Amino acid sequence: MSAGGDFGNPLRKFKLVFLGEQSVGKTSLITRFMYDSFDNTYQATIGIDFLSKTMYLEDRTIRLQLWDTAGQERFRSLIPSYIRDSAAAVVVYDITNVNSFQQTTKWIDDVRTERGSDVIIMLVGNKTDLADKRYEGTMSFKMLFLICCFLIDNCFKRNNCIYFFFPPKG
């Protein structure tokens, strides 16, 4: 993988782009990872936000560059340029919102168009605290799993899975 294979260098950079429809929890995921907090107030991302975090993993140091994209249609034309040199794409959907789930295939197609198979794609089902409202649709999770490689059901509000997604040091 050109964007992130060799760990021989003292500091390797990995770009992760977060994709998905508006209000599915992309910013919440990043906020939980960066600051270990959750904010109940919703504020839409305008265009794109960028954060980075240096992590120390065993014998190597890495810098994760987290690109938080806007889910609104009016910013769609900007997305391919953010995907272009990413090492991984995190496609987030709201488990209670059928449209956000159905749109994951479009986001995955966008990633494949820009990066081919030279990228890791993770599919994250968010808002599991609302599991009683979960959408159980006809599109198979198994099918998406085969497309994406990783499928994670999560609730960043409760912090019940963030360390599976971003393992802590030691």
**Would you write out the chain's pLDDT as a tens digit for each of its 170 residues?**
445 455 555 688 999 999 999 999 899 889 888 888 767 777 878 888 999 999 887 888 889 999 999 977 788 889 999 999 999 999 998 888 889 988 998 999 999 999 998 888 888 888 766 666 666 554 445 445 545 544 444 444 444 444 444 444 44
Dihedral over Cα of 44, 47, 53, 57: its sign: positive
Identify the pLDDT of residue 170: 46
Pairing of strands 60-69, 149-153: unpaired
**pTM, full prediction:** 0.76
Distance CA 98, CA 75 (A): 21
Identify the pLDDT of residue 17: 97
CATH class for the domain made up of 11-164: alpha beta
The domain locations on the chain are: 11-164
Q: How many CB atoms lie within 10 A of CB 47?
A: 12
